[in-house]
Amino acid sequence: MSSIKLSVLDQSAVHQNETAQEALQHTVELAKIADEKGFHRFWVAEHHNMKERAGSSPEVLISYLLAQTNQIKIGSGGVMLQHYSPYKVAENFNVLASLAPGRVDLGVGKSPGGLPVSTATLQKGVSQDDYPFTEKIKELALWLHNQKHTDEKGDEIRAYPLPPVPADLFLLGTSKGSAELAAKLGVSFVFARFINSDERALEEAIKAFQQNVDPHVHKKPSFILALSVITAETNEEAKSLISNDEIVKVYLKSGKTFTLASEENAREFGNQSGEPYEIKKQERKVIFGTQEIVREELLALQKKLGIDEFIILTPIDDAEKRKRSLVLLKDAFHHDHAETLA
C-alpha cells in the first residue's frame, strides 16, 4: 500500500458573528497553510442562496487561490454541473488551467447545492429533461481534452483557450450509481462520507468503481474518500470542537433525497419543493482525537478500503482552531511520509 495523500475541502462557512468577507478570507488563509504544509489539493465548495456559506462561485474563488498559493492543486468540490452549460464550465477551467498548468482540479457534482428556489433561478429558461447529467459530464470531458464538436450546420466548436495541461476531472457523489458512472467515464470518484456516513453505501461504491474501471486505460482513475476530521492536543478538546454531529436529510415523495446544512434548511427545502417530504437525521461520522489517534484511524481506513487519498473537511467553527487542526493532522504524518505527501 502506498503512502496516504492528504487533501483539504473547505466550504467557506459563515459562522456566528462572522461576515461572508471574513469567511472567504479564512478560506484563503487555510489554502495558504495547506500549500505550505504540503497537502496534495485544496478544494472549495459551491452553495447557493445559503447565508451560512459564502462560496457560491468556486471558479472565481479558485482563480484567487491559485494566485495566493505556489504549488498545491486548487479545485472545485464541486461545480454543480446540472445548472450550467458544459461548454462554459470547460471554458472557465481551460482559462484557469492556462493560468496555472497542472494545478487545476475540476470536481463536478450532481446535487443542486441549494434550495429549490435557487435551482429554479439558476436554470431559468433552460430545460433539463433533454440534457441528462451523464451527457453533460461526457461532453465536459471532451471539451476539456480539446475534442472538437460539430454543430448542426457542421461547424467545428472548441472550448478555447487550450491549456498545456487540462484540468483533472472528478465526479463527486455518495452512491454506488455515481461511482459506477465515474468508473465507466474513466474519471476519478470522490465519495463524500461527510454527507453519507452509511458504511454499506461506501463499500458498495468502492466495489462498483473497481468493477467498472477499464484496467487498460493509460491513466487509471482513483477512488478518493472525503471525510470529516478534527485533530487537537487532547481527545477532550477534539470532541468539544465538533460543531455539528448530525447529518440532516430531506426525503421527497418523488424519491429524491437531499442533504442540508441544518434542520431549518431541510424544512425550507421541503416546503419549496411543493412535494410531501420527510426529514431524518443521521449521526455524522467525525474522526477526532490526538495526532496519534487520528493517524491510526486513517491508516486503518486505508488498509481496510484500499484508499490512498483522503480529502479532509474540518467541521470547527473557530477559524484559528480549524487551521491548527490541519497543521496537527499533517504533522502527524510528517516523519514517515514527508517525502511522498508533498
Under the banding of pLDDT at 50, 70 and 90, the label for residue 1 is very low
pLDDT digit string, tens, across residues 25-40 = 999 999 999 999 999 9
In tens, the pLDDT along 215-266 reads: 888 889 999 999 999 999 999 999 999 987 678 888 898 888 888 777 888 8
Q: Is the pLDDT of residue 337 over 50?
A: no
Among 166, 182, 176, 88, which Cα is nearest to 134's? 182
Q: Report pLDDT for 216.
A: 85
Over range 293-319, report the average pLDDT: 96
pLDDT of residue 342: 35
The conformation of residue 3, written as its DSSP 8-state character, comes to P
pTM over 0.75: yes
Whether the CB-CB separation of 311 and 11 falls below 8 Å is answered with: no
Are 324 and 268 spatial neighbours (Cβ–Cβ below 8 Å)? no
For the CA atoms of 91, 96, 99, 100, the dihedral, rounded to the nearest 10 degrees, stands at: -140
pLDDT tens digits for range 67-120: 999 999 999 999 999 999 999 999 999 999 999 999 999 999 998 787 778 878
- pLDDT of 178 strictly over 70: yes
* Mean pLDDT of all residues belonging to the chain: 91
For cell 476519478, what's the residue?
A: 188
Q: Which amino acid is at 60?
A: V
pLDDT value of position 335:
59
The answer to whether 168 touches 189, Cβ cutoff 8 Å, is: no
Q: HSE (CB half, 13 Å, CA atoms) of 98?
A: 13
Domain 5-243+285-341 sits in which CATH superfamily?
Answer: Luciferase-like domain (3.20.20.30)
Q: What is the 3-state secondary structure (H, E, C) of 194-243?
A: CCCCCHHHHHHHHHHHHHHCCCCCCCCCCEEEEEEEEECCCHHHHHHCCC
Q: For residue 156, what pLDDT band results from cuts at 50, 70 and 90?
A: confident
Which class for 109: exposed (0-12), middle (13-18), buried (19 or more C-beta within 10 A)? buried
43: exposed, middle or buried (C-beta count within 10 Å: 0-12, 13-18, 19+)?
buried
Whole-number pLDDT of residue 339: 38
| pLDDT per position as a tens digit, 131-145 | 789 999 999 999 998
Grid cell 462572522 in the structure block, residue: 18
Task: Give the start-to-end residue ranges of the domains of the chain.
Answer: 5-243+285-341, 246-283
In angstroms, the CA 227 to CA 195 distance is 8
Per-residue model confidence as pLDDT tens digits over 48-60: 988 889 999 999 9
